[in-house]
Amino acid sequence: MPRKYNIDQIILRLLAEDDLSRREIAEKTREALGRPVSDKSINEALMKLLEDGKVQVVDYDLSVYNSVKRIQSIKSDGIVFGLMRKDPFKISMLFRRTESEDAGEAERAYKKLRRLFRAKMAVAGMKDYTLFDRMMNEIFIMDSKNKDRIIRRLSWALSDEKGSLDEFEDLIHYFKVREY
């Protein structure tokens, strides 16, 4: 029976210090535990953290190829991970990307925003997840001045900034009142 070592928590602590490649994460995780841990377990923990939106891929470390000139495959050891940082600017950029001409990019941005919204709803103890779609529809039919203002406020509300939860609750109330 496999043992659980809370590898995901160890990875989060490591990434709180700096962005690390998959290879560095594996080495430091094994070092922290003082025992061998399979690559499979580390990869599984990283995928769980990616799915949960706690980490993101931030770069690729080409040094894993050791000066090889003709690279024919991608090594997972070079993928660099970092903690998911939710600052208002990045969230605002997601809103802008929802208006992209590229349907795939717009859909990915929309899904990320919905994931952030649901996470904030959970923190606020709310369960009306359909509100996000109604809010987005209303935002996109607003005139540009009001739209920009609401996007700035919503970007702040969805961020990790101090006071963002209060702003989030105020905006939820605002949109619920507008429904009636």
pLDDT of 2? 46
Chain segment 124-171, per-residue pLDDT in tens:
888 777 888 888 988 888 888 889 999 999 999 998 888 899 999 999
Percent over 90 (pLDDT), the chain? 32
> Do the beta carbons of residue 36 and residue 68 sit within 8 Å?
no
pLDDT at 179: 67
Residue 5 has pLDDT above 80, yes or no: no
pLDDT grade, residue 180 (50/70/90)? low
> What is the reported pTM?
0.58
Residue 140 has a pLDDT of 85
- Average pLDDT, whole number, for the chain? 87
Q: What is the pLDDT of residue 23?
A: 94
38-74 pLDDT, tens digit per residue, is 999 999 999 999 988 788 887 888 888 888 888 888 8
Whether the pLDDT of residue 117 is over 80: the answer is yes
121-125, 126-130, 176-180 — which is least confidently predicted?
A: 176-180
Cβ atoms of 15 and 74 closer than 8 Å: no
* Residue 109 pLDDT > 80: yes
Where does the chain have alpha helices with state H?
7-17, 22-33, 39-51, 88-97, 103-124, 131-141, 144-158, 164-179
Q: Say what the pLDDT of residue 3 is.
A: 56
Rounded to the nearest 10 degrees, the angle between the axes of helix 7-17 and helix 22-33 is 120
